[in-house]
Chain A
């Protein structure tokens, strides 16, 4: 093992290119094999364990002959597993020797693969972000996986360099960004605006201490901390913010819904007992009694559901808190860096030039508390090992603050991304007719409550007709319950309808769009609110759409497409007044005069 370490540090030169070959850390061999072995052992145990147990419990091993055969089989299995282990380790060693990167003249080269060799060349200018990720095990040993993103669109995959020591990773990141800026400076005189020197507000929370401890200990092979540039702005989360982030995660809404459902069903249980039953006294008694019983059962079920939801909520809140533990966002030179995670550490660094948009999101809960979430949109590339949850988080963008009071937003944005200081303020709101259309669209066409009521009504009518036509006694007896349940459903539907209507009115009052010379801003209102700002130069293309109804109402739908997210994001605002939409289309055109004489001046932030 010491031999490898030496080799990793001696770093032989490639005779062809004369470049220094950087190998990854030797933990690639043993941590990597450990991971594969764990997976294989798990499958082996799961697939064979039951048959082994069966063998012993079956009582078929009466004669010593049988026992011997069983022993031989087990020995063979063990041998097979051992051989497999050796094979994996050898494979890891060989692939370790075929895995290295070089910092070339104008591009970053990455080599991988034993038989099918993979070579990745990334020109420095194209680098969008350098992220690093550590699992808990990696964290203990102070190594991490670095992924380099190039914003090459949806088909492109990020280049993943596994198992670098923390020191190497930091050095690599500094080197890559330095070379990128050097490469850009060659044909670029317009400097990126300097960040105003805003002093970072020192804020801390309970989880910062363990996170700091991690940093101090670093892990076994972490190496020295590397200075990667001057930080102009930095902040963390306060205790309150961290807690609220945890509490307001996705399950909160489900919890509230469940609570409402429980109350409604309890209410329904009481209601059913008042339903007049047109039968004889005994039937009435039975009906009332069973209705009460049904009501109790429903209430108990709702209570249990509520409890389970509460538990899940608490657990996921804890999980979110831990994953946001040690959260730090900072501006360092031209990069924005975000790191978080107490167990699995994530570090994301993105170049300011590659930020596509800023989104300020207010979910229902955040809105009630006067808070919001700030995230940056960037071109996301799905790297090979990503699972569903990572892809879901990709859709969110780079969260630079998960939970912040709305009045602190300007300060944070000015500190972390001063380039977006000039966002437009003269919002163009929607014409009056949009309210009518919005209510119709949200309450009826897309209204869950409305369609729910319709379906319930159809079923109810059909059952009633069936009961009166067939004269079936059972059905006639059940009819009051059916009608009772239907009434509950109607109440629920009306509730939903009211929610939809409130959402539609809020949508109308708050939705707007605005643009000025360099930026455009789109606000979508409703129960939850979302404001997205983006530089004009980051708009890939825009379009308007009009359907016959909109044509009569004199409105259009405005669509803007940016490259943020996986394969791009479309934002739309329905029912903008036609004149506003046309003016906006004019604005969207490249500015002819300036462009023809010097196209290069149509820079991202000056466009």
Chain B
């Protein structure tokens, strides 16, 4: 087994994942939960099994929250590694399906940095590296680091003569 890439994401990324995942989970939960609550209020004679459904939803919700807020972020963080070498980008990620990418910078067409509200609140940015056939995102880097990476990829991409 080859050694893993050296760099990890910014540790704050765990919290970013927690927040963004919980937003989605809560939204999905509300979409399922509210109609059932309304149904329970409107149909008192069927309440017994509706309450059972509610309980089931609550359990699923709790399990999802536990999974995405407590269990997954540290594992994901530990598995997500990248390394920017002189002329290629090396990414290892995936918990069950472990993937290892090698992306030569000379194939890179353009690089972007992106910042959503959550990432901005933590002072992070994500870098997207696109080749002619797909893109890769490194989700959580400190802003300076992200800009450094972007500039470097852009510089190396500029040196590539042939565009495809």
Which residue numbers of A lie inside 8 Å of B, CB to CB? 125-126, 128, 151, 153, 187-188, 353-354, 356, 379, 537-548, 551, 561-563, 567-569, 578, 582, 585-586, 588-590, 592, 595-596, 599-600, 602-604
Q: Is B33 in the interface zone, CB < 8 Å from A?
A: no
**Which residues of B are found within 8 Å of A379, using beta-carbon distances?**
132, 164
Query: What's the minimum C-beta distance from A397 to chain B, rounded to whole angstroms?
Result: 14
* B96 with A541: CB separation less than 8 A: no
* B87 with A596: CB separation less than 8 A: yes
- Candidates B87, B104, B132; contact of A563 at CB < 8 Å: B132
* A599 with B106: CB separation less than 8 A: yes
- Candidates B86, B97, B104; contact of A596 at CB < 8 Å: B86
Stretch of B6-14, B53-61, B138-146, B155-163 lying at the A interface: B155-163
* A126 with B163: CB separation less than 8 A: yes
Given contacts A545-B98, A585-B2, A585-B102, contact A592 B161 (CB under 8 A): no
* A540 with B133: CB separation less than 8 A: yes
- Candidates B87, B96, B97; contact of A590 at CB < 8 Å: B87
Given A353-B162, A595-B106, 12 other A-B residues pairs in contact with their CB atoms under 8 A: A153-B109, A379-B164, A537-B162, A541-B102, A541-B133, A542-B102, A543-B99, A563-B131, A567-B133, A578-B1, A589-B102, A590-B106
* B133 with A590: CB separation less than 8 A: no
Q: Is B81 in the interface zone, CB < 8 Å from A?
A: no
Given contacts A537-B162, A603-B161, contact A561 B106 (CB under 8 A): no
Query: What's the minimum C-beta distance from B80 to chain A, rounded to whole angstroms?
Result: 14
* A187 with B164: CB separation less than 8 A: no
**Which residues of B are found within 8 Å of A546, using beta-carbon distances?**
97-98
What is the chain B residue whose CB lies nearest that of A188? B161
Given contacts A589-B104, A592-B86, contact A600 B133 (CB under 8 A): no
Cα separation A43 to B119 with both chains bound (whole Å) = 54
- Candidates A568, A578, A599; contact of B134 at CB < 8 Å: A568
Given contacts A540-B134, A562-B133, contact A547 B97 (CB under 8 A): yes
* A151 with B102: CB separation less than 8 A: no
**Which residues of B are found within 8 Å of A585, using beta-carbon distances?**
2, 100, 102
* B163 with A590: CB separation less than 8 A: no
* A151 with B105: CB separation less than 8 A: no
Q: Is B62 in the interface zone, CB < 8 Å from A?
A: no
* A540 with B132: CB separation less than 8 A: yes
User: Mostly helix, strand, loop or mixed at chain A's interface?
Assistant: mixed
* A590 with B88: CB separation less than 8 A: yes
Q: Is B103 in the interface zone, CB < 8 Å from A?
A: yes
- Per the 8 Å Cβ criterion, residues 116-159 of B in contact with A are 131-134, 136, 156, 159
* B104 with A590: CB separation less than 8 A: yes
- Per the 8 Å Cβ criterion, residues 93-115 of B in contact with A are 94, 96-107, 109
> What number of B residues sit within 8 Å (CB to CB) of A?
32
Cα separation A278 to B109 with both chains bound (whole Å) = 74
Task: State the total of A-B contacts with C-beta under 8 angstroms.
Answer: 108
**Which residues of B are found within 8 Å of A567, using beta-carbon distances?**
133
* A561 with B133: CB separation less than 8 A: yes
**Which residues of A are found within 8 Å of B104, using beta-carbon distances?**
539, 541, 588-590
**Which residues of B are found within 8 Å of A600, using beta-carbon distances?**
159, 161
Query: What's the minimum C-beta distance from B164 to chain A, rounded to whole angstroms?
Result: 5
Cα separation A356 to B86 with both chains bound (whole Å) = 25
Given contacts A567-B133, A589-B88, contact A582 B107 (CB under 8 A): no
Residue among B88, B97, B100, B136 having the largest count of chain A Cβ atoms under 10 Å: B100
Given contacts A153-B109, A568-B133, contact A545 B161 (CB under 8 A): no
What is the chain B residue whose CB lies nearest that of A545? B99
* B105 with A590: CB separation less than 8 A: yes
* A547 with B96: CB separation less than 8 A: yes
**Which residues of B are found within 8 Å of A603, using beta-carbon distances?**
161-162
* A187 with B107: CB separation less than 8 A: no
- Candidates B1, B100, B109, B164; contact of A543 at CB < 8 Å: B100
* A595 with B87: CB separation less than 8 A: yes
* B2 with A582: CB separation less than 8 A: yes
What is the chain A residue whose CB lies nearest that of B156? A599
Query: What's the minimum C-beta distance from A8 to chain B, rounded to whole angstroms?
Result: 34
What is the chain A residue whose CB lies nearest that of B101? A543
Cα separation A524 to B134 with both chains bound (whole Å) = 23
Cα separation A599 to B88 with both chains bound (whole Å) = 13
Top-5 shortest CB links A-B: A568-B133, A563-B132, A543-B101, A599-B159, A540-B131
What is the chain A residue whose CB lies nearest that of B90? A589
16 contacts between A and B (CB under 8 A): A126-B163, A188-B161, A537-B162, A541-B136, A543-B99, A543-B102, A544-B99, A545-B94, A545-B97, A563-B164, A568-B134, A582-B2, A592-B85, A596-B87, A600-B161, A602-B106
**Which residues of A are found within 8 Å of B105, using beta-carbon distances?**
590
**Which residues of A are found within 8 Å of B132, using beta-carbon distances?**
151, 153, 379, 540, 563, 568
Cα separation A286 to B134 with both chains bound (whole Å) = 65
Cα separation A171 to B87 with both chains bound (whole Å) = 42
Query: What's the minimum C-beta distance from A184 to chain B, rounded to whole angstroms?
Result: 9
Cα separation A604 to B104 with both chains bound (whole Å) = 13
Given contacts A126-B163, A563-B164, A599-B159, contact A541 B101 (CB under 8 A): yes
Query: What's the minimum C-beta distance from B86 to chain A, rounded to whole angstroms?
Result: 6
What is the chain B residue whose CB lies nearest that of A353? B162
What is the chain B residue whose CB lies nearest that of A151? B164
Query: What's the minimum C-beta distance from B42 to chain A, rounded to whole angstroms?
Result: 37
* A561 with B134: CB separation less than 8 A: yes
* B134 with A541: CB separation less than 8 A: yes
**Which residues of A are found within 8 Å of B156, using beta-carbon distances?**
599
Given contacts A540-B134, A585-B2, A592-B87, contact A151 B163 (CB under 8 A): yes
**Which residues of A are found within 8 Å of B164, using beta-carbon distances?**
128, 151, 354, 356, 379, 538, 563
**Which residues of A are found within 8 Å of B159, using beta-carbon distances?**
599-600
**Which residues of A are found within 8 Å of B87, using beta-carbon distances?**
589-590, 592, 595-596, 599
What is the chain A residue whose CB lies nearest that of B132? A563
**Which residues of B are found within 8 Å of A548, using beta-carbon distances?**
96
Cα separation A379 to B133 with both chains bound (whole Å) = 9
**Which residues of B are found within 8 Å of A551, using beta-carbon distances?**
98
Cα separation A178 to B162 with both chains bound (whole Å) = 18
**Which residues of A are found within 8 Å of B97, using beta-carbon distances?**
545-547
What is the chain B residue whose CB lies nearest that of A548? B96
- Per the 8 Å Cβ criterion, residues 33-88 of B in contact with A are 85-88
Cα separation A188 to B161 with both chains bound (whole Å) = 9
What is the chain B residue whose CB lies nearest that of A126? B163
Given contacts A569-B133, A582-B2, contact A588 B102 (CB under 8 A): yes
